Structure 1
Amino acid sequence: MSKLLLSLETSSPVCSVALHQIDDGKLIGQSELRLEKSHSSHLSVLIHQLLENTLHTLPNLAAVAVSDGPGSYTGLRIGAAAAKGLCYALDIPLLAVSTLRSMAYQVASRTARSEQYLYCPMLDARRMEVYAAIYRSDATEVLAPTPLVLDQATLAEHLAHHSLLFFGGGAQKFQPLVGSNTRAEFLSGVEPSAVAVGALGVAAYQQQEFQSVAYYEPFYLKEVHTTTPKNKPGQ
């Protein structure tokens, strides 16, 4: 039986899982759920339903790949906990795939003449801020994942020399600032996907780029901001 890779994507409101053959990278199946704040209660159900629908069981898994971030703090924590739990219980390797890199791979793999563009996924942060990175068509990194405050000068140097495709939940905030720059194109409907995480996870498995199951933590990119509720009058 072929080795199987289970991939988990929980960095966004879309919770998705996918199953790939490691030997040839073939996609066996996928499932996703689009419900806000549903990851904690539905991720394990999606995993078991996917395995059942593809006639596989947990012992058939050879590795688990998880979306590494950036993204939703809570979502990333849920995905990491599930992936680590499976890897520990089954004694199999853990792989981590950049959320932004997987989004770039997803778009480049279905773009005609893909080598003519650079790919800039943007995930929405607070106000006019996004998490962004830039990749070539082969998913190699041009600009490492970074928080960006958007204005008319953002990424101007890259746009002066390259044609860029922008996509993801944060791209719509940037589009009005670019104006009529013909080197900037915007794509809608692109969201993080476990299918892309799995495709890059297969390559990572073959390179033995394994994570420590005990010590792995997602790449949050920024510290989580918490506040202490103020006491009500009289308390």
Structure 2
Amino acid sequence: MPTLLLSLETSSPVCSVALHRIADCSLVGQSELRLDKSHSTHLTVLIEQLLENTGHQLSDLAAIAVSDGPGSYTGLRIGGAAAKGLCFALDIPLIAISTLRALAAQVAAGTASPENFLYCPMLDARRMEVYAALYTHEGQEVLAPTPLLLDADTLAEQLAHHSVLFFGHGATKFQALLGEHLHAGFLTGIEPSAISVGALAVGAYHRQEFQDVAYYEPFYLKEVYTTTPKSK
């Protein structure tokens, strides 16, 4: 009987995969590659190596979880396509987990007295814009994922009443604008991880919160704009 959940995180330059046991949410193994623009060529290799290194095979998988976005458009497409392909081939359910919620849960799990803070993951959306959200330590949504144009007054109301931890590769831009603030803390080196995606996905599996594999699309949050090259 299949007992494992495979999670994929491809929303950022870090490409990572993880295996969890569905019965108790224990981590079986994880693998990641910090090589920009490597997802398309290395994701399936990471999956194969993780299964081999942990002594498992595809038939042991009961579900696939994927980081749902927002994040890199190309990365999300690659992760979504790989997850859908595996689900179709194995006839198993697909679970989508918010990239920002997983990132917040990852930080809250490692924070002392986590109930004292709100958690604000920020992913770079170029220029002075980020994809951001606000969560409690229990994962309750205070501010839904949204594109934010940053200035010194961004999230002023929340910062007036709460201590907020900011993290993710978009938070550095906000720190430069905000400067010193009594209620703001900035964490560095926090990257999206398939481990946190998988931990949340195990709960979703037991609640049977599955996606329609045929019609699933990642949560891009914004329209993707393309331009036509100028003719010479």
- One-letter amino acid matched to 1:83: A
Secondary structure of residue in 1 paired with 2:89: helix
Gaps of 5+ in 2: none
Q: Which residue number in structure 2 is paired with residue 185 of structure 1? A: 185
Secondary structure of residue in 1 paired with 2:227: coil
Q: Which residue number in structure 1 is paired with residue 32 of structure 2? A: 32
For residues 78 and 149 of structure 2, what CA distance do their matches in structure 1 show?
Answer: 27
C-alpha change, 1:2 and 1:216, in structure 2 (3 Å) is closer
Q: Which residue number in structure 2 is paired with residue 19 of structure 1? A: 19
Q: Which residue number in structure 2 is paired with residue 58 of structure 1? A: 58
Question: Deviation digits for residues 124-169 of structure 1, max 9, x if unmatched?
Answer: 0110000000000011110000000000110000000000000000
For residues 202 and 58 of structure 2, what CA distance do their matches in structure 1 show?
Answer: 18
For residues 57 and 226 of structure 2, what CA distance do their matches in structure 1 show?
Answer: 40
Give the deviation of 1:180 after TM superposition: 2.0
Secondary structure of residue in 1 paired with 2:64: strand
- How does the TM-score come out when normalised to structure 1? 0.98
Q: Does structure 2 conserve the Cα–Cα contact (< 8 Å) formed by 1:66 and 1:83?
A: yes
1:42 aligns with 2:42: yes
1:99 aligns with 2:69: no
Question: Deviation digits for residues 71-124 of structure 1, max 9, x if unmatched?
Answer: 000000000000000000000000000000000000000100000000000000
Give the deviation of 1:191 after TM superposition: 0.5
For residues 134 and 2 of structure 2, what CA distance do their matches in structure 1 show?
Answer: 34
For residues 195 and 179 of structure 2, what CA distance do their matches in structure 1 show?
Answer: 33
For residues 123 and 186 of structure 2, what CA distance do their matches in structure 1 show?
Answer: 14
For residues 229 and 41 of structure 2, what CA distance do their matches in structure 1 show?
Answer: 27
Q: Which runs of 4+ in 1 moved over 3 A?
A: none
Q: Does structure 1 conserve the Cα–Cα contact (< 8 Å) formed by 2:9 and 2:15?
A: yes
For residues 140 and 209 of structure 1, what CA distance do their matches in structure 2 show?
Answer: 17
Q: Does structure 2 conserve the Cα–Cα contact (< 8 Å) formed by 1:8 and 1:16?
A: yes
Gaps of 5+ in 1: none
1:174 aligns with 2:152: no
- How does the TM-score come out when normalised to structure 2? 0.99
Q: Does structure 2 conserve the Cα–Cα contact (< 8 Å) formed by 1:108 and 1:114?
A: yes
- One-letter amino acid matched to 1:138: E
Q: Which residue number in structure 1 is paired with residue 163 of structure 2? A: 163
The two structures, once aligned, show a CA RMSD in angstroms of 0.7
